[in-house]
Amino acid sequence: MANTFVDYTGADGTGTDNKDFAFSFPYLDDSHIVVQVDQASVPGGAFVTKALTTDYTIVTSPSKLIRFVSAPASADRIRIKRDSASNTALVDFENGSVLTEVELDRAYLHNLYLNEEIEEGSGKNVMTKNSAGNFEADLAKIVDVADPTLAQDAATKNYVDTEIATERTARVADVDAEETARIAGDALKVSKVGDTMTGALTLPASDPTNGTHATNKTYVDAQIATSLATGVAGGPIDTVNIADDAITADKLANTAVTPGAYTATNLTVDAQGRITAAANGSASPTANEILTSLKTVDGTGSGLDADLLDGQEATAFAAASHTHTASNITDFDTEVSNNASVAANTAKVTNATHTGDVTGDTSLTLATVNSNVGSFTNADITVNAKGLITAAASGSGTPKWNTGWVNTDGSTSVANGATLNFTHNLGTTNLNVDVYVADNASGANALNIQLITIDLSGNSNGSQIQDVTSTGLTLQLASSGYLDINSSGTITGQNFSSKYIKVVAIG
């Protein structure tokens, strides 16, 4: 582990909003702590040194950490390092002066820290090896490097650019030479992968014997002529050779049907779908004839065929004198509007489940399920399966706001004598406030400490709310911690350091 620096990413932050980053190495002065951030959002990146107070503060209790004013992004690289100011002497020895232990220690530690920083490369950003044994330049350029002479030398930009340009020139020359040779030797050849040919290409006089052979004009003309004349050479011209819809009616022979317009036509159609006879039919059927035909489709004469008409269509075709039952009425409102003989104002809601629209008398009476009627504060209620309140009563005061278990107010840590400030959004000072202390953020061994007590030695214990506004409150922790009483009745003093507190406002 490094003695002079520590590296993080923004995702490693702790405390409020991930702003805190711990470090453990010793240092002599706050000015010797250097904080650098390499922002992931900046292409190429580079560590940028941040300013004390403006960008961060140094916290020393209960442990050392850097607290950023604004939390770095989760992917940002963060380095906290020590630079012990090698150009400044921290102790000035004078003749005849008394050498104190503090001054000797400070001078020795200054030299020790400088040597550590030189070894690890943190103080002056010298290039050192990382944990994998490779030199780490932290994204900085390495300049004034000579061109390489051995295989394992680092290559400069100039060397790489020159080699690439030389190789490109040589390859272009090779390509030009190959192309010149190809043009000279292949000018009279036709490329099998695609080319342009000028002039006639004479094919062999013999006929092709394979389906993939090239054919000459004489062979093609003879085959077409034979096929059209006899339908033999290329195979019979039948439905296999003719695509669907390829022949129009104009190309078919006339049949015995006399051309003309027909009314209510009686037609005769052959197996090929051709009309072989046509004549005018009788007058259009009446409505009763259509109804009779529909009723006798299934041969029984007893009603519409269920395979042709569903319940709603059966209702529409049925005569007004037919009895309408629930099985063939799918929409009562539509049936009422379509049949004037049905009185709309007779539709009533009775003791039954009803869905849809209600017409006519719509007065409804609800059964009494709760006799306890009135207004309730912080109400405790009971609701049945119908969504009705069957019981109600005013409840007790309930917490309106609390801080949760915290060990800091965002800037000041929980400690003996600490003054903590919290904000709330209640908009009132009419509050009852309790304060609790616990061992951890889960509230283990919670204890109410909202009271300042003085022991026999004059030490103050506990806590007290100093000030309450409509948006915040101030909590003062006693300088001597707080008192705890165990199961045996023994009272002991406890320290606030490393503890968690919770402030609860109750209405």
Looking at the chain, the whole-number percentage of residues with pLDDT higher than 90 is: 33
Note whether residue 284 is domain-resident.
Answer: no
Q: Is residue 100 part of a domain?
A: yes
State the average pLDDT for the chain: 79
Q: Same structural domain for residues 412 and 341? A: no
326 and 442 in a single domain? The answer is no
Co-location of 56 and 132 in the same domain:
yes
Nearest to 475 by CA among 443, 445, 505: 505
Q: What's this model's pTM, rounded to 2 decimal places? A: 0.32
Residues 16 and 131 in one domain: yes
- Please report whether residue 168 resides in a domain: no
Short-list 129, 126, 48, 47, CA closest to 86: 126
Q: Is the pLDDT of residue 21 over 90?
A: yes
Residue 404 and residue 391 share a domain = no
Evaluate whether residue 279 is within a structural domain.
no
Give the distance from CA 281 to its chain's centroid.
70
At 272 the pLDDT is 64
57 assigned to some structural domain: yes
CA distance to 253, 264, 269, 481, per residue, from 274 (Å): 11, 18, 5, 109
As given in the structure block, the two tokens for residue 68 are 């950023």
User: Which of 109, 136, 163 is at the close of a domain?
Assistant: 136
Which ranges in 209-286 belong to alpha helices (H)?
217-230
- Total number of domains constituting the chain: 4
Give the position of tokens 């309930």: 398
464/430 same-domain check? yes
Give per-residue pLDDT as tens, 340-386: 655 544 544 455 555 555 555 555 566 777 777 877 666 667 888 87
Which of these three, 100, 116, 136, is where a domain ends? 136
Confidence class of residue 226 from pLDDT cuts 50, 70 and 90?
confident
pLDDT classification of 450: cutoffs 50, 70, 90: confident
pLDDT at 321: 46
Residue 404 shares a structural domain with residue 391: no
- Asked if the model's pLDDT at residue 456 lies above 50, the reply is yes
Q: How far apart are CA 336 and CA 358, in angstroms?
A: 12
Final residue belonging to a domain, choices 101, 136, 171: 136
Contact indicator for 268, 275 with CB cutoff of 8 Å: yes
The verdict on 132 and 59 lying in the same domain is yes
Q: Examine the domain organization and report whether 9 and 119 are in the same domain.
A: yes
Residue 332, in any domain of the structure? yes
Residue 383: give the domain boundaries.
366-396
- Of 263 and 357, the one with more pLDDT: 263
List CB contacts of 200: < 8 A, sequence separation 6 or more.
Answer: none
Q: Is residue 73 part of a domain?
A: yes
Q: Cα separation of 498 and 405, whole Å?
A: 12
**Segment 23-30 mean pLDDT:** 94
Q: Do 331 and 425 share a structural domain?
A: no
Question: Residue 496 in contact with residue 415, Cβ under 8 Å?
Answer: yes
Element (DSSP H or E) covering residue 40: none
- Are 10 and 130 in the same domain? yes
390 in a structural domain: yes
Q: What percent of the chain has pLDDT over 70?
A: 70
Tell me, what's the pLDDT at 375? 75
Pairing relationship of beta strands 460-468 and 452-454 according to DSSP bridges: antiparallel
Q: Do 391 and 407 lie in a common domain?
A: no
